[in-house]
Chain A
C-alpha cells in the first residue's frame, strides 16, 4: 500500500474510534440526564398523589385517620410504643389530637340501656380535626380494650373541634370557632341507632346548635339536660339549664364573673369553680336549684377542684408561685388534710367503686413556678405517673409509671366499674387508656 494511503487510513480509523467514543459518551450522558429528570417528575407526581392507590373507606375508622397520621410524624412520635417500653396496661387509643372523651354504657348505672353498646362499657371520643365520633369497647368481657379496636361512628364532618364532651348515654357536645364570625359555636350531637340490616355502621350526627359564646358547658347526669354558662345581655355571666334538645331554657344563675368552670355530677349537683390562676384566690360553689351558691372551697390560690359524686368529699389543689399542693376533705365536718402529692386536682379522678380512693397523675419532676398558668397556656408539659391514694387508710402508692413515655395527663375520666382511666395527653392531645389493675 502507498504510504500516504496508509496514513490516511490510520487517521480515518482513529477518527471513527473517537466518533464512536463520543457517541457512547453522549448517549450515556443523555441516559443519565433523562433518568434524573424522570425521577424529578416521579417525585412531583407522587407529591400530587398520582400513582397511589385510591384511599380506602373500608377500614373501621376511615381513611381520614390514616391521612392525618401520615402527616403528623412529630405529633405521633413514639406514641405507638416503638422503641419504648410501653407496657400492655397502657393503650394509646388515638394518636391524632382528640377534642374530648367520655365513658358510655351500662357500667354506669344511670345510663343503662341508653346506648347501643348493650351491656358493655365503651370509651367514646371526638376527633379534633374532623369532629367524627369514635369508640372503643373497654369492658374486659368484650375484649375491646385488649384488641384496641377503634370504630368510627359518625361521618359528619365538623372541622377543628377544640373541645368536646361525651355524656354517659353517648351524646356529644362539640365546640369550635364559627368560620363566619369567629364566635365559639357549640353543637349538641346525637348519634342515631345503627341499622341492624345495613352493613355500614357510619351515621350522620344529628345536630342541635346551642347559643354562641358559651363559656362552659356540662351534661346532666342522664345526658338529657345541659347546663351552660354564657355571656348575659347586660354583661356578666348567666347560667342556663336546658333540655338536651334546646327546649325549656331556665336561667338559674347570674354573676358578673365570666370565668367559671361548670360540672354536673351524677348525683345531680351542679358545681361551679372559678377559673384558676396561680397565686390568685379562687372559689368553688354548689349551685342550688334556686340559683343559690353554697360554698365548697373559699379563697384558695390557684384553685382546682375534684368533687366526689354522691358524697361531700372533695379533693382540691392550690397553686401559688413554686408551691403545688393537693388537699382532701372527706366530708363537710372533717378538717382539710394535705395529700403527699404535688399535682393539681384536674389530673385526678375518684374511684367509683371504692370509697375515698382517688387516682392522680403526678408530675415526676418538679414543676416550674406558676405551673398552672404555664400549663394552661401550653408553655410547659409534664411527664406524669399515676398514683393511688387511699384516704381512709392514709396510704399513697404508685399505681403506674409509663416509663419513658411522656404523658401530660388532662381530662381524666374513669369508667363506672373503676377499672379503666382514660385521659388525653396535653402535649399532643392524643388519647390513652390505662387499666387500673395489673
Chain B
C-alpha cells in the first residue's frame, strides 16, 4: 500500500528550532540533518528523531508524540517515501536506516481511528556528514610524525569539513554553509558565520576539558549537521636527545630519564657530546623560542645557557669520571601554567676532568675542583 505524501508542508525552521534544544552526544564524529514537518493545520502530532542528525546508512529511531490525542489508543501507520513500513495500534516508535549520502527520505506517521485520519506528521531525513578536525599550534620538532596536541596556553586550530550532498551528486560549497561554533554549549559568535569552517580558539586550561561543537546548515535549511569533539589538554613533555655531529638530533632515541637512586641509564661512548632538549607541546614556535626559560644543572652545578641555543648543551668529559646527572627545568615567560622538569643520568667515556660549553666553565660540572 502506498500513500502520496502530498499534504506535508516542510517547515525548515522547526529543524533549526529542534536542533537548538537538542542534547548532543558527548563525542560525535558526524551527524546528519532531518527536517520535521506537521501534517496540517490543527493537527497535533510531532516526530522526534534520534540522532538528530543521522549519518548515512545508520539507524534512526523515530517517535510520534502528541499532546492533544492519545496515540496509544489510535492506529499509527508509518510510511517511508509513501510506502508503508509499519502499522499497528499504539505503535508510536519505529526504527529505520538512513539512506546514503545524497539521498532524501520522507517519513510520515499517520494516526487514524476507524479508518479516518486524526493527525499526521512528516519528517524529511537528509543524511549529512561533518568531520571535525583539530590540532594545536604547540611545538613539535621537525620531522615529528605525531599530532601537535594542545597544552594550556596554546592555540587550538579546528576545521569542520561538511559533506552536504545534493541528489544530483554535487556538494554544497563550504562558503554557502552557515557554521555555528560552540564551546561547552555557549555559542562563539565571533567565530561563527557563513563560510566560517575554521576557527582558532584558546586551548582548555590546565586540568580542563572542553566540548567543542559545530553546527552547520544551509541558509534554506535543506541541509544541516553537527559534530563535536572533546578536547583535553596535555602537559608539555620535556625530552633529551643526543645531537650527534654526524647524524644530527637523534629524535629516534630519547634518553631514558633518571630515577632517584638508580645508576645512570644512558651510556655514551664519546668523551664529548651535545644534547638537545625538546619541549613537546609547549607554547613555542621552536625549541629556542625566547619565551622558553631553560635552567640547566649538571651534578648539582648550575650551567649558564648558550644564548643562541639555550635548548642545547655540550658536555666534555675528557678530564672527569664521565658520570653526569643532567637536570633541566623549563618554564615559560608568559605562561605561568607551563613548568616541566627532566633528569637524565649520562655516562660518557671520561678522563681526568671535565667541562661544558655553553656553561660558565669556572667549575668542573662533574664535581671536580675549580679550575
Contact = CB atoms under 8 A, between A and B. Distances in A.
B161 A129 contact: no
A281 interface: yes
A426 B250 CA distance: 11
A378 B129 CA distance: 36
Given A160-B246, A236-B198, A292-B171, A298 B29 contact: yes
Given A128-B247, A275-B147, A280-B147, A378 B252 contact: yes
Interface residues on chain B, size class? 35 or more
Given A256-B157, A256-B159, A277-B149, A298 B131 contact: yes
Given A162-B143, A429-B252, A377 B239 contact: yes
A14 to B, nearest CB: 45
Contact of A298 (B30, B145, B146, B149): B30
Contact of A129 (B129, B131, B229, B246): B246
Interface string B264-292: 00011100000000001000001000000
Interface string B32-44: 0000000000000
A262 to B, nearest CB: 12
B131 A74 contact: no
Contacts of B144: 376-377
Given A184-B143, A280-B149, A376-B145, A256 B248 contact: no
A376 B146 contact: yes
Contact of A162 (B148, B198, B248): B248
B133 A283 contact: yes
Interface string A125-139: 000110000000000
A429 B267 CA distance: 18
B246 A299 contact: no
A5 B48 CA distance: 139
Interface string A218-254: 0000000000000000001000000000000000000
A299 B229 CA distance: 10
Contacts of A352: none
Contacts of A429: 247, 252
A95 interface: no
Nearest to A130: B246
A427 B253 CA distance: 7
B83 interface: no
Contacts of B143: 162-163, 175, 184
A323 to B, nearest CB: 16
B148 to A, nearest CB: 6
Interface in B144-195: 144-149, 157-159, 161, 163, 171
Contacts of A276: 145-147
Interface in A192-242: 236
A259 interface: yes
A343 B252 CA distance: 19
Contacts of B267: 74
Contact of A378 (B30, B229, B250): B250
B135 A377 contact: no
A177 interface: yes
A373 B248 contact: no
A377 B237 contact: yes
B286 A182 contact: yes
Nearest to A213: B142
A129 B245 CA distance: 9
B241 interface: yes
Contacts of B146: 275-277, 372-373, 376-377
B254 interface: yes
A258 B254 contact: no
A218 to B, nearest CB: 14
A409 to B, nearest CB: 13
> By CB atoms of chain B within 10 A, which of A162, A255, A293 has the most?
A162
A282 interface: yes
A276 to B, nearest CB: 6
Given A162-B142, A258-B135, A281-B29, A73 B269 contact: yes
A257 interface: yes
Nearest to B161: A293
Contacts of B134: 257
A177 B146 CA distance: 19
A236 B157 CA distance: 9
A128 B129 CA distance: 44
Contacts of A281: 27, 29, 229
Contacts of A159: 246
Contacts of B149: 277, 280
Contact of B135 (A73, A160, A175, A275): A275
Nearest to A74: B269
Nearest to A424: B252
A255 B147 contact: no
Interface string A355-387: 000000000000000001100111100000000
Contacts of A236: 157, 198
Contacts of A128: 246-248
A377 B246 contact: no
Contacts of B157: 236, 256-258
A274 interface: yes
A377 B276 CA distance: 13
B147 A277 contact: yes
Contact of A68 (B135, B239, B246, B280): B246
Nearest to A410: B252
Nearest to B253: A378
Contacts of A177: 142, 248
Among B147, B251, B268, B286, the most chain A Cβ lie within 10 Å of the Cβ of B147
Contacts of B269: 73-74
A140 interface: no
A189 interface: no
B135 A427 contact: no
Nearest to B231: A280
A170 interface: no
A259 B246 contact: no
A379 B247 CA distance: 18
Contacts of B30: 298-299
Given A74-B267, A162-B143, A257-B135, A427 B252 contact: yes
A297 B52 CA distance: 22
Given A256-B157, A295-B163, 6 more contacts: A162-B143, A163-B143, A275-B135, A298-B131, A299-B29, A299-B131
5 contacts: A74-B268, A255-B159, A259-B147, A274-B133, A377-B239
Interface of B: 27, 29-30, 129, 131, 133-135, 142-149, 157-159, 161, 163, 171, 198, 200, 229, 237, 239, 241, 246-248, 250-254, 267-269, 280, 286
A-B complex: 10 closest residue pairs judged by Cβ atoms: A299-B29, A277-B147, A160-B248, A376-B146, A256-B198, A129-B246, A378-B252, A378-B254, A275-B147, A379-B254
